[in-house]
Structure 1
């Protein structure tokens, strides 16, 4: 079989869906390489900063690693802005959706909310509420997100910071995104993202 025969999903047969499942499984095994390719494209993203969006992402991950973060958080730091090009107004949620099946819930929560927490550094310059993040101050991952932004994200625009290239992080990306998706042993306690 080269393709299914149905034109509406409701008409598909078991054999066709088993065929599609095999193809999807093969395709999904290449997810780490697609993530790495998307990261590489950030070299040509937003301008105006002293570093490219790729350099910012690499530097954020390097700072996380230097600070002793575990591999899940380092990879999260690496991909935290992967959604900038396709979802400029909700890039945080896109990054969280990408990593959610592979890491513990607190990591997903931090990525989901880091854009809002970053507002602390500049929203007041545009008449916004820099303390909007405080509505989450009772959340178990609140301080983790504050620290993610303060120590790693907002600080990673320094062209002089010693930053490894994308190749350095390739094995980590492959390990994290090579896991069985939604493994309860990895995800831990599920946090609401709202």
Structure 2
């Protein structure tokens, strides 16, 4: 029994294993992939929307929580990169509930500064300050990162744009308000100057 491709899948190669592929085939596939990559912003916006069907129980669903996080960051004067990072910080809840911070951080890493990437990567642990003790865990586990250049930035992110974003009566901006920002972020050249902007920080991350 064979399983059929999706009807929209376009085939342009002949190889059955990668070792058989030619230079021409790989370059042709790379060109074809550009169209798929260009729709990353669409997929991320859809992923935020889908968060409404994730964790139950709290005053707001994860979609509203994420929108509220981005709204608070925007109104607090954060730059567009951090606003989008706030919007996407919990996008991993749907497919990676046990390591959602790493999931979100991996997606944005090629498009943001090392500082923003680290903040999202570590926010799950830092957020534990507000509830780990209720599970007999160490709420100060984040302290192992004291001395890191972005320790305070992650503390502030969780305090201002995460732990307080469960208010159903807050004037939360809609997803459409953030769509242009998301599109601009993912229109950046991956691994561009924004990633290499701060050599000292880059060395700090590499040393972890």
Q: Is the TM-score greater than 0.5?
A: yes
Cα deviations by residue, 1:64-96 (Å, 9 ceiling, x for unpaired): 011110000000000000000111110000000
Superposition pairs for residues 128-167 of structure 1, below 5 Å? 128-167=137-176
Residue 4 (str. 1) matches residue 13 (str. 2): yes
CA RMSD of aligned residues (A): 1.2
Residue 168 (str. 1) matches residue 174 (str. 2): no
Q: Unpaired segments of 5 or more residues in structure 2?
A: 1-9
Q: Which runs of 4+ in 1 moved over 4 A?
A: none
Superposition pairs for residues 85-164 of structure 1, below 5 Å? 85-164=94-173
Q: Distance in 2 between matches of 1:150 and 1:119?
A: 11
Equivalenced residue count is 193
Q: Distance in 2 between matches of 1:192 and 1:13?
A: 35
Does the 8 Å contact 1:58/1:166 carry over to 2?
yes
SS in 2 for 1:99: helix
Per-residue deviation at 1:157?
A: 0.2
Cα deviations by residue, 1:123-173 (Å, 9 ceiling, x for unpaired): 011110000000001100000000000011000000111111111100000
Q: Distance in 2 between matches of 1:3 and 1:136?
A: 48
Select the structure of larger CA radius of gyration.
Answer: 2
Q: Is the alpha carbon distance of 1:48 and 1:193 closer, same or farther for their aligned partners in structure 2, counting shifts above 3 Å?
A: farther
Does the 8 Å contact 1:92/1:112 carry over to 2?
yes
Q: Is the alpha carbon distance of 1:86 and 1:141 closer, same or farther for their aligned partners in structure 2, counting shifts above 3 Å?
A: same
User: Which residue is 1:32 aligned to?
Assistant: 41
Q: Unpaired segments of 5 or more residues in structure 1?
A: none
Residue 67 (str. 1) matches residue 95 (str. 2): no
From 25, 49, 60, the equivalent of 1:51 is: 60
Does the 8 Å contact 1:109/1:193 carry over to 2?
no
Higher RCO, 1 vs 2 (CA within 8 Å, ≥6 residues apart): 1
From 172, 181, 194, the equivalent of 1:186 is: 194
Per-residue deviation at 1:193?
A: 8.6
Residue 42 (str. 1) matches residue 51 (str. 2): yes
User: Which residue is 2:4 aligned to?
Assistant: none
Q: Is the alpha carbon distance of 1:193 and 1:158 closer, same or farther for their aligned partners in structure 2, counting shifts above 3 Å?
A: farther
TM-score normalised to structure 2 length: 0.90
Per-residue deviation at 1:2?
A: 3.5
